[in-house]
Amino acid sequence: MTTLSTPAEFTLHRENKYDYSSAIGWILSHVKPYTWIVVMIFVGAIGNAVLAVVVPVLTGNAFDSIRDTLDTSVLLPLALTIGISQIIRGVLQLGRNFGAELMAQKMERDIRDELYLSLLGKSMTFHNLQPVGDTMARATNDVREVNYMFSPGVNLVVGSFMFILMPLFFGPTYHWSLILTPLIFIIVYFVALARYLKNLAPVTDEVRATFGTMNTHLSESLDGVEIMKGAAQEDSEVERFVINAKRVRDAFVQQGELEARYIAMLLLGLAYAGGLVHSLLLFRQGLLSVGDVVAYFGMLQLLQFPTFTSTFAYSQISSGISSARRILELIKRETHLDQNASGVTSQIRGDIEFRNVSFSYPNGEAILKDVSFKVKAGQTVALVGQTGAGKTSLVKLINRTYDVSGGQVLVDGTDVREWNLASLREQISIIEQDIFLFSRTLSDNIAFGKPNATKDEVMSASIAAQAHDFILDFDQTYGTVVGERGVTLSGGQRQRIALARAFLTDPRVLVLDDSTSAIDSATEDKIQRAISNAARGRTTFIITHRLSQIRWADLIIVIRKGQIVASGSHDELMETSEAYSRIFRE
């Protein structure tokens, strides 16, 4: 079995047990744990097909009995036999359908679990480059298509395959030559089917790809709806969506046209005609009875089920394989950060050093160039510079949100790449300007980094972050559910909740990325005291333009175009650094 060779950022303690060599291999590796369900499907399919033959065979016997003896009493046992056989057949068919649906649901659950764990294990570089809408399309619609591939897709294909074999096996029992019609039909049928599937595969790939593109645009439009409305661009965005929707429609229409040109129903008609003529010729030669002709033609009618289902069941399987290919491509997408489970797990003191650090995003744009500085444990560092200077990228190298392109970032004298990633990140808290809150209660949001926190701990953290008072103003207080991304809270409230979340986890390194920009002046002094208390005893990085926060930093680092142009205290830099003093003059 092939496994992923690329290290995941987080393996999340799940053993990799699937085959990633191909989409079909991956699907089969998901089927393997449920072999007993596969047996149930095949037993049900075989029994269903064999008992379906009972009807034409006994019907033929009934014709011969009536013609030979004119005694209708023989019909009752035949009718009872047909009735009992069809009841058993119904039970077997139920087992086949239930097994296929059970398999489909179990696979969908397993694939969603696998994909979700894989996405959580990807690096931020991956998530920055991968469109959310396309990811959602693969995680929802494509996973469901794999479900449909098994039920009804594989279910109907397995069942119909057994039906297509019945005339081949039972026809020659009346006369050996009666194998010819079903044999020729099967050969031509599978040749036509192979050609159909070959032409169908790229079309279903296009259907899934266009749907992902449409979903990406929809996601971006909803995320940016405020900007779109503010710029009065509703019409242009609708036009773009309509174009994407037309591409999806065209892809589906192309698939429909291909299905319409499939010649399976024509082959069925020819098989009916050929089989009937053949059996009647044998009847005229006295080699078959009327009942034999009726029974044989009844068997040929069993070919209707595989012929009819092939027009959509194989299309469903092709769509499922295309979807599996898209899901697998997402799972296998390279991530450059290794969890390093055997790395250093000791408690961080807080000594931070950058040695000739350079950093570039995957597009090749250089963000940081030859950055070097040292910070002692417990010091507070203010990073200042114009927008786009590289301040946020710099602090995200400390907890390995990104990895350096060159040089080293050391925590307590150890390269961050040698730390156990989970241990490193648990002790570093970053509060960003764009605060993300989950659609959960305020208490759950505060305790997100420490799920086992007590109510008293949550409350103490919120008091320290100056959030307790406004939380009490809500009817449900700490049980208040915030809207998606915290939209029901003001900017300042969201930032205080984020501060409370950081205070609760008691990090050894605290990073505040312009996290008080939305706090009003009346609250700023309280927040400043809270941050000052929180910074005591831990290494703190502050990215801000507020002079009141920069002044009390132990070290101020001025960054310009990805390089350090000055460092020192506020008074020193006001006298010696034109770049620093310009920030406060502008």
Q: What are the structure tokens assigned to 335, written together?
A: 């991530």
Residue 585 has what pLDDT?
A: 62
Spatial separation of the C-alpha atoms in residues 530 and 441, rounded to whole Å: 23
Strand-pair category, 539-543 with 509-513: parallel
Q: Tell me the average pLDDT across 120-127.
A: 72
Q: Could you report the per-residue pLDDT of 326-348, keeping only the tens digit for each? A: 888 888 876 666 777 778 888 88
Residue 246 binned pLDDT confidence (cut-offs 50, 70, 90): confident
pTM value surpassing 0.85: no
180-223 vs 155-170: helix axis angle to the nearest 10? 170
In whole angstroms, what is the distance from residue 339 CA to residue 405 CA? 18
- Residue identified by tokens 């830099």 is 573
Distance (Å, rounded) from C-alpha 426 to C-alpha 508? 9
Give CA–CA dist 369/357, Å, rounded.
Answer: 6
Instruction: Sort 101 into a burial class: Cβ within 10 Å, 0-12 / 13-18 / 19+.
Output: middle
Structure tokens at 292: 């034999």
- What the block records as the tokens of 360 is 């570039």
Question: What domains can you pick out in the chain, each with its CATH number?
Answer: 23-332 (1.20.1560.10), 352-585 (3.40.50.300)
In the chain the first and final C-alpha atoms are separated, in Å, by 62
Whole-angstrom distance, CA of residue 108 vs CA of residue 523? 49
Would you state the pLDDT for residue 223?
Answer: 66
Of 217-226, 502-511, 553-562, minimum mean pLDDT range: 217-226
User: pLDDT of 287-312, one tens digit each?
Assistant: 988 888 899 998 999 988 888 887 77
The whole-angstrom separation of Cα 447 and Cα 188 is 65
Higher pLDDT: 116 or 72? It is 116
18-48 pLDDT, tens digit each = 888 888 889 898 898 899 999 999 999 999 9
Residue 530 confidence (pLDDT): 65
Q: Is the pLDDT of residue 1 over 50?
A: no
Question: Is beta strand 380-384 parallel, antiparallel or unpaired with respect to 539-543?
Answer: parallel
Measured CA to CA, the distance from residue 63 to residue 288 in angstroms comes to: 13
What are the distances in angstroms from CA 277 to CA 42, 114, 183, 270? 34, 55, 16, 11
C-alpha to C-alpha distance for 453 and 524, rounded to whole angstroms: 27
- Grade residue 3 by pLDDT with cuts at 50, 70 and 90: very low
What secondary structure letter does DSSP report for 483?
Answer: -
Dihedral pair phi/psi, residue 408, rounded to 5°: -140, 145
What does the block give as tokens for 239? 């036009």
At residue 98, the pLDDT reads 92
Q: Mind listing the pLDDT tens digit for each residue in 173-215?
A: 999 999 999 999 989 888 888 888 788 778 887 877 887 788 7
How far from 210 is each of 133, 207, 213, 216, CA to CA, in Å? Answer: 12, 5, 5, 10
Q: How far is CA 184 from the centre of its chain?
A: 44
Angle between helices 313-332 and 23-31 (to 10 degrees): 100
Inform me whether the pLDDT recorded for 227 exceeds 60. yes
Q: 462: burial class by Cβ within 10 Å (0-12, 13-18, 19+)?
A: buried
What average pLDDT score do residues 451-473 get?
84
Q: d(Cα 277, Cα 232) in Å, to the nearest integer?
A: 72
Exposed, middle or buried, 70 (CB in 10 Å: 0-12/13-18/19+)?
A: exposed
Mean pLDDT for all residues in the chain:
81
- CA–CA dist 569, 581 (Å, integer): 12
